Chain A
C-alpha cells in the first residue's frame, strides 16, 4: 500500500506537469478555450445553514472533497457532508427530502417518475440538473514500442467487442500509419464492479461507433471479451502490468499507472486528452433541458465531429431544487454551488477531473443565481 501511495503522489505530480506542458504544446486547440480556473474574484454570498448534506454518485466523490475544501476556505464555518452512496441512492434521498441536493451520473428521469417526485419535494417547483463535474475517461493501454496511438470511436468499439483482436489488425494500422504495431493479442480489461464510467463509456461507443457497437449501455460492461478487474485502480494496475492490454479508465488512474493514453479521432483528426480538448467538448455540448435545467445532450458530446474535441468524458450532475428550499438552506446551497462552479474547479485537474470552460461556467452561474 505504501508504495502505491507514493505512486499516487508521483502520478499527481506527473499529471500536473503533463497538464502544464499540454497547454503549451498542443497546436490543435485554440488557446481561447483555456479553462476558467483560479479565479477567486467571484463574490460568494456566504451564510445560511452551516452544515449542508448531499448524497449520491461515487464518481464525483473526489470532486466534492475538492469543492468542500474550497467552500470552507471561502465561507468560514460552513461545511457540507457528501455521502457517496451511488447515483440511485442520491436521487432517492433527494426526493425523500433527506439531503439538500443529490449527486447523480444521470439526470432525473421522466419515465421513472423522478421528475414529478422531485418537483413534489421542491414544493411544486421543478428540480434542476446542474452538470458541475466532468471527468475525462482515457482509453489507456500498454504496448511496448507504441506510445502514440490513435483510435476512432468505431475502432474503440470494435476492440472492446472483440471484432478487432490483434494490435496489427489493418483497422488499427490504417489510423496509425507510422507506428510499428506488433502481432499481439489485444487484451481488453474492463470494470468488474458496476460503474458509471462503464455506463458512459458504452454510451459513447453507442453514439460514436457508427453502428459497430450493438451491445447497448449500462453499468455492467457488455462487450463480451476480455477480463474484468475491480474498480479503476484494479483495471489500471492490470493494464500497467501486461503488455498488449487496453482499458477505459479515469484519466488520473491512467496517469498513476503510467499507461499510454490513446488519442481519439472523431473524424476530424487525432485529439489528445487534455484540459483544452475536454473543455472544448463541454463547450460544444447541447443543452437538452429547458431554461436553467442544464441537462446535457450527451450524444452531442459523444458524437461531436468538431476538430480538437475529446469526446469521451463522464458528466455528473448536482440535482437541486429551483425553488422551495427554506431561506437558510437556499442561501447555503447557492453559496456552495457558486464556490463549486468557480474556485472549486481549480483543484479538479489534480483530482483527475476536467474544469468547466468559461462559457459553460457562466451558464452554471446563471442557473445557480436563479435558485431561490
Chain B
C-alpha cells in the first residue's frame, strides 16, 4: 500500500490508527526505508522518547483501570439492592423502587426499548451515512467535499437537549400523520401496531429513533468518509483500467475495502445511541404498559430512566436499583463494542 497517497486515518477507526502514527514517532525502527532525511539524524534514544512512551503507556493503563473501576463500582453498589429485589431482575417488566421494603424492579422493558430504539436509529442512519460518505469521497468535487464534511460534523456539536426539544416540539407533530398512516395501513405488522402511548403526543420510539438517527449520523459519516478515502488508488485505477464504471469502482474496490471501517463506525454510532440520555428523557413518553414490539410504544431506556429518577435519589437502596440497571447498560455497550472490534479484527488481513 502506498502510504503517501493515503489520507491519515483517525484513531477511532481501529487499531491501525496507532500504526499510522508510528513512523513519525519511531523512525529508527524503519531504517531501511527512511521516510525523510530529518529522521536520519535521530538514531539515538532521547529523553523525549522515554517520556512519550511512558505517557502513552500510562494513558493506556489509566483508561483500562478506570473502566474496570467503573464496572466494579457499579457492581458493588448494585449488589445490596439486587438482594432486595422481590422479582426477577432480568425478566420482570415492573419498576417500583419507592418502597425499599418491597422493591420490585426488572429491566426487561428498559432493555427492549433501549435496543429497539437504537437499532431503529441504526437502520435509518446506516444507509444514509453510507450514501453521504460515498458522495463525499467518490462523487463530490474536492472543493465541495471539504466544506460539506464540516457541515455534517457540525451536527455532532449540537447539544442533545436541542435534539430533544426539536424532536418533541417540531418533529413529533410532523410525524403524527405519518405514524397514523403507518398504524392504520401496516398495523398488522407488530412493528407498526398501535402502541401503548398516543401518536399525537409524539413520545414514541418512532420519533425517538429518528432523532437518534440524526444524532448518530455525523459519527458514522465522519469515520466512514475517512475509511473510504483511504481506498488504495492502485485498486481504483486498476478497476478503471479494466473498464469499470463509477458504480462498479465503488462496488468492487471502495466498499470491500471500507466495509470493516463502516461497520465499526456504525457500532460507534450504536454505542452513542444506546447511551443517549437527555434527548430521550424529553421525547419518550413513559408508560405503565408493557413494551409490545411496536415502534409506536413508549417507555424508557436505561439512561433516560436513570436520569428521570436521579434528582430524587435519597436512599442508597433505591439508587442501587438504578445503578444495577446502569450496569446492564454498561455490559450491553461493552458487548456492542466487542462485536464491533471483532468485525474490524476479522477484516484486518485485507489491509
Residues of A within 8 A of B (CB): 1, 58, 85-89, 91-92, 187, 189-190, 192-196, 218-230, 234, 237-238, 241-242, 245
| Residues of B with C-beta under 8 A to A1 | 165
Stretch touching chain A among B27-35, B208-216, B278-286: B278-286
Give the CA-CA distance A223 to B286 in the complex, in Å. Answer: 13
Complex interface residues of chain B between 134 and 190 (CB less than 8 A to chain A): 165, 168-169, 173
Q: Is B267 among interface residues, defined by CB-CB distance under 8 A? A: no
Contact B309 A193 (CB under 8 A): yes
Q: Which of B97, B281, B286, B313 has the most CB of A within 10 A?
A: B286
Q: Is B308 among interface residues, defined by CB-CB distance under 8 A? A: yes
Contact A230 B287 (CB under 8 A): no
Q: Which of A85, A229, A242 has the most CB of B within 10 A?
A: A229
* Closest A residue, CB atoms, query B169: A237
Contact A230 B197 (CB under 8 A): no
Contact B282 A234 (CB under 8 A): yes
Report 15 cross-chain contacts, Cβ distance below 8 Å, ordered by A residue: A88-B313, A88-B315, A190-B286, A192-B285, A193-B308, A194-B309, A222-B96, A224-B288, A226-B287, A227-B203, A228-B298, A234-B282, A238-B201, A241-B200, A242-B198
Residues of B within 8 A of A (CB): 95-99, 165, 168-169, 173, 196-198, 200-201, 203, 281-282, 285-288, 298, 300, 308-309, 311-315
| Residues of A with C-beta under 8 A to B95 | 220
Q: Report the 6 A-B pairs with minimum CB-CB distance, sorted nearest first.
A: A88-B314, A228-B286, A192-B286, A227-B285, A218-B98, A194-B312
Contact B314 A242 (CB under 8 A): no
Contact A192 B201 (CB under 8 A): no
Give me 6 other A-B pairs in contact (C-beta within 8 A), A234-B282, A245-B201 excluded.
Answer: A86-B311, A189-B201, A227-B197, A227-B201, A227-B285, A230-B308
| Residues of A with C-beta under 8 A to B196 | 227
Q: Which of B99, B200, B308, B313 makes the CB contact (< 8 A) with A242?
A: B200
| Residues of B with C-beta under 8 A to A227 | 196-198, 201, 203, 285-287, 298
Shortest B24–chain A CB gap in Å is 46
Give the CA-CA distance A225 to B285 in the complex, in Å. Answer: 12
| Residues of B with C-beta under 8 A to A229 | 201, 203, 285-286
Q: Which of A193, A194, A219, A228 makes the CB contact (< 8 A) with B285?
A: A228
* Closest B residue, CB atoms, query A220: B98
Shortest A317–chain B CB gap in Å is 15
Give the CA-CA distance A236 to B268 in the complex, in Å. Answer: 36
| Residues of B with C-beta under 8 A to A225 | 288
Shortest A372–chain B CB gap in Å is 30
| Residues of B with C-beta under 8 A to A58 | 311
Give the CA-CA distance A193 to B282 in the complex, in Å. Answer: 11
Shortest B120–chain A CB gap in Å is 19
| Residues of B with C-beta under 8 A to A86 | 311-314
Give the CA-CA distance A87 to B313 in the complex, in Å. Answer: 9
Contact A194 B308 (CB under 8 A): yes
Contact B98 A187 (CB under 8 A): no
Contact A192 B300 (CB under 8 A): yes
Contact B281 A230 (CB under 8 A): yes
* Closest A residue, CB atoms, query B287: A227
* Closest B residue, CB atoms, query A3: B169
Contact B314 A223 (CB under 8 A): no
Shortest B128–chain A CB gap in Å is 28
Contact A219 B312 (CB under 8 A): yes
Give the CA-CA distance A1 to B99 in the complex, in Å. Answer: 37
Shortest A204–chain B CB gap in Å is 17
Shortest A83–chain B CB gap in Å is 12
Contact A193 B288 (CB under 8 A): no
Shortest A192–chain B CB gap in Å is 4
Contact A223 B312 (CB under 8 A): no
| Residues of A with C-beta under 8 A to B287 | 226-228
Shortest B104–chain A CB gap in Å is 12
| Residues of B with C-beta under 8 A to A242 | 198, 200-201
| Residues of B with C-beta under 8 A to A187 | 198, 201
Give the CA-CA distance A196 to B201 in the complex, in Å. Answer: 24
Q: Which of A222, A225, A238 has the most CB of B within 10 A?
A: A238
Give the CA-CA distance A61 to B69 in the complex, in Å. Answer: 35
Shortest B325–chain A CB gap in Å is 14
* Closest B residue, CB atoms, query A86: B312
Give the CA-CA distance A220 to B105 in the complex, in Å. Answer: 13
Shortest B135–chain A CB gap in Å is 33
| Residues of B with C-beta under 8 A to A224 | 288
Give the CA-CA distance A196 to B196 in the complex, in Å. Answer: 26
Q: Which of A85, A193, A241 has the most CB of B within 10 A?
A: A193
| Residues of B with C-beta under 8 A to A241 | 173, 200-201
Shortest A109–chain B CB gap in Å is 11
Q: Which of B168, B169, B201, B288 makes the CB contact (< 8 A) with A223?
A: B288
Give the CA-CA distance A131 to B13 in the complex, in Å. Answer: 58
Shortest B117–chain A CB gap in Å is 15
* Closest B residue, CB atoms, query A88: B314
| Residues of A with C-beta under 8 A to B315 | 88
Give the CA-CA distance A193 to B203 in the complex, in Å. Answer: 15
* Closest A residue, CB atoms, query B97: A220
Shortest A137–chain B CB gap in Å is 17
| Residues of B with C-beta under 8 A to A226 | 287-288
Shortest B98–chain A CB gap in Å is 4
| Residues of A with C-beta under 8 A to B312 | 86-88, 193-196, 219
Shortest A2–chain B CB gap in Å is 11
| Residues of B with C-beta under 8 A to A88 | 312-315
Give the CA-CA distance A133 to B288 in the complex, in Å. Answer: 31
Shortest A361–chain B CB gap in Å is 30
| Residues of A with C-beta under 8 A to B173 | 241
| Residues of B with C-beta under 8 A to A91 | 314
